[in-house]
Amino acid sequence: MGVPVGSTRRGAQTPWRAGEGRLPGRLPGRLPGRLPGQLLGRLLGALLLALPGAGAVAGCPQRSDDDRDVVDAGPDDAPAVVARRALAVIFDPTVDGRRLSAAQGWQDPEALLARIPPWWSTTTAGRVRFELVDTVVVDAFPAKVDGFAYDGNEYRQVLAGQSAPHVPDNADVVAILAAHDVCARVDAGDIDELWMMGGPYFGFYESQLAGAAAFEYNSPPLRGTACRRLVPVMGFNFERALPEAIHDFGHRAEATLTHLFGRWSQDSTANAWERFGLVAALSPTLGFSGCGSIHYPPTATSDYDYGNARVVGSLCDDFVNYPARAPDPEAAVVDMSCDAWGCDELGFYAWWLQHLPTAPGLDDDGRPRDWLRAVADPQWMLDQTPDLVPCGVATEATTCAAQARCQWAPCAATCVAADLAVDDGACACLAATSTPACDAAAGCAWYACSERCLPTGTSNDTACR
C-alpha cells in the first residue's frame, strides 16, 4: 500500500500524556457508574476473559467472512468477543514550521487515538476490542469535495473568525479511502474500519458508513467507493479530548439501532430501542426515561446535561436481563439520579454502553439481540437481517421483489420502499438523479440518506429505506 506524499506511518502507538485538559471546541454541527448493570457487565467480562482462547487480539489467525471479527464466541449463551481492526489517518499539516496540533496547543493526536481502544475494552469488559493496526500521519489539510484545501494562513483566519469557513465543508472522504486502499484492505481482512483525525473545519462527519449497503450513520451513506463490505469511517477532532471521541461512537450506536428497529421516537415505547433511548424531558406523556440518549442522559433537561442531579423514573435496569423484561414498561421504572454514572460525561457514555443488550440469537421480529455487537460490527448486523439492506442496493426487479419492504419502480428502473406511492409525481421525481435536477423539479425534494429525489413530504423512514 502506498503512502501519500508528505505522510508518515506509525506502527506503534504513543502512550497518552497524563493531565490532558478539556479544550473548547469549534466542531461545526457538534455535533464511574454504580448500577447493578455495570457490575454485572464487569463480572461477565471477567468470566469471558477467563475462557480458553479469549486472549489478546494480536496475532490471531486470518478470519473468514462469517467470523472475521469474533475472537472467541465462548459457550452458546455467552456474548461474542468482537475484535475490530482500525486504520488511523491523521491530518496534521505543518503550519509555520510546527504541526498544527502542537502549534495550536491542542491534543497530541496519536496519544488521543491510543486512549480509545483501552477505553472500549475496559468499558465493555473485554467484549469489544479495537486495535489500531496502522497509523498514517498526513502533512496536509484534507481536500474538500470540490477540490479546495486550506493553506495555513487561510485556516488560521477561519479559526480567528476573520474569514468564513469554506463551503462546501465536507472533506473528500471517497478520495481518502482510495488513497489508503481502505476498501481493498477491508476485503483482505487486514482492517475493518477507518479512523480519521484532524482539526475543526476539516469536514469530517463524526461517523459515516461506506459500502454498497451503507445506511444513515449520523450522516448520509458514503457513496462512490469501491467498498463491498460495510466500512465505518470515524471522524475525530484533536482540538477536543477523549469524551468527544467516545461521543462520536455514541451517535454511531444510535444510528445503528435506529436502522435495526426502523424508527426512534421519544414519548414512545413501541419497540425495545425506543424504551432504551427514552428521555423523560422529551416525553411529556410518559414522563419517565429509559437509558437516555448520547445528548440526553435520563435525568437531563437539555443537551449535554450529564451532571443534572434531579431524580427521575427510569426503566434502564430492565435491560440488564434482556430479552427478559417487564411486559408493562412502567412496572420497571425506578428512581434514578446521575450518581448512577458519576454525574460526568465520560462516565455516562460507559454506563449507557454497558446497558446495551448482549444476548445471543434473534428476537421475535428477526433482529439480533446482541445490540453491542451490532454497534461494533454493522456488517454482521446486516448479515443477520438481510431485510435491512437498503432497497436501492437491488439493481434488478427480481432481487428487489425478494425484499418484502421494497418494490420495483419500472418508470425509473430502481428499487424503492414498498409504501412509496409510485405514481406520475413520484416517477417525475425519481427521474431527477442529482440535487440540482431535483431542486428544479416541482414537488420534489432530495433525500441525502438514499441519494434520491422523491415527492416532497415523503417520510424519512420511506425515503431512507
More confident residue, 30 or 133: 133
Q: Which helix (H) or strand (E) holds 7?
A: strand 7-10
DSSP of 214-277: ---SSS--B-S---SS-EEEEEEETTS-HHHHHHHHHHHHHHHHHHHHS---TT--SSHHHHHT
Dist CA 268 CA 272 (whole Å): 10
> Minimal CA–CA distance to 156: which of 215, 199, 119?
199
Predicted confidence (pLDDT) at residue 21 exceeds the cutoff of 60: no
3-class secondary structure, 324: coil
pLDDT digits (tens, 9 = 90+) for 205-234: 999 999 999 999 999 999 999 999 999 999
The percentage of the chain sitting over the pLDDT mark of 90, rounded to a whole number, equals: 76
How far is Cα of residue 343 from the mean position of the Cα atoms in its chain? 24
Dist CA 53 CA 59 (whole Å): 12
Q: Are 96 and 103 in contact (CB under 8 A)?
A: yes
Residue count of the chain, please give it. Answer: 465
Confidence of residue 67 (pLDDT cuts 50, 70, 90): low
The least confident of 123-137, 341-355, 381-395 is 381-395
Give bridge partners of residue 196 from the DSSP assignment. 89, 235
CA atoms within 13 A on the CB side of 272: 26
Q: Express the helix, strand and coil content of the chain in percent, nearest 5 each.
A: 30, 20, 50
CA geometry: angle at 176 spanning 172 and 178, to 5°?
115
CA atoms within 13 A on the CB side of 428: 12
What are the cell numbers at 449?
440518506
Q: What are the residues whose beta carbons fall under 8 Å from the beta carbon of 120, sequence distance 6 or more? A: 128, 129, 130, 249
Confidence of residue 85 (pLDDT cuts 50, 70, 90): very high
Predicted confidence (pLDDT) at residue 276 exceeds the cutoff of 90: yes
Predicted confidence (pLDDT) at residue 61 exceeds the cutoff of 60: no
pLDDT mean over 222-250: 98
pLDDT mean over 142-169: 98
Phi, psi of 294 (to 5 degrees): -65, -30
Predicted pLDDT at 49: 35
Predicted pLDDT at 450: 84
How high is the mean pLDDT of the chain?
86
Dist CA 177 CA 255 (whole Å): 22
CA atoms within 13 A on the CB side of 267: 5
Amino acid residing at 383: D
Predicted confidence (pLDDT) at residue 45 exceeds the cutoff of 60: no
* DSSP-assigned letter for residue 171: B
Confidence of residue 69 (pLDDT cuts 50, 70, 90): low
Predicted confidence (pLDDT) at residue 38 exceeds the cutoff of 80: no
Phi, psi of 202 (to 5 degrees): -80, -15
pTM of the model: 0.80
Q: What are the residues whose beta carbons fall under 8 Å from the beta carbon of 399, sequence distance 6 or more? A: 415
The percentage of the chain sitting over the pLDDT mark of 70, rounded to a whole number, equals: 83
What are the cell numbers at 165?
469557513
Predicted pLDDT at 26: 29
Dist CA 430 CA 411 (whole Å): 8
3-class secondary structure, 417: strand
Q: Are 228 and 256 in contact (CB under 8 A)?
A: no
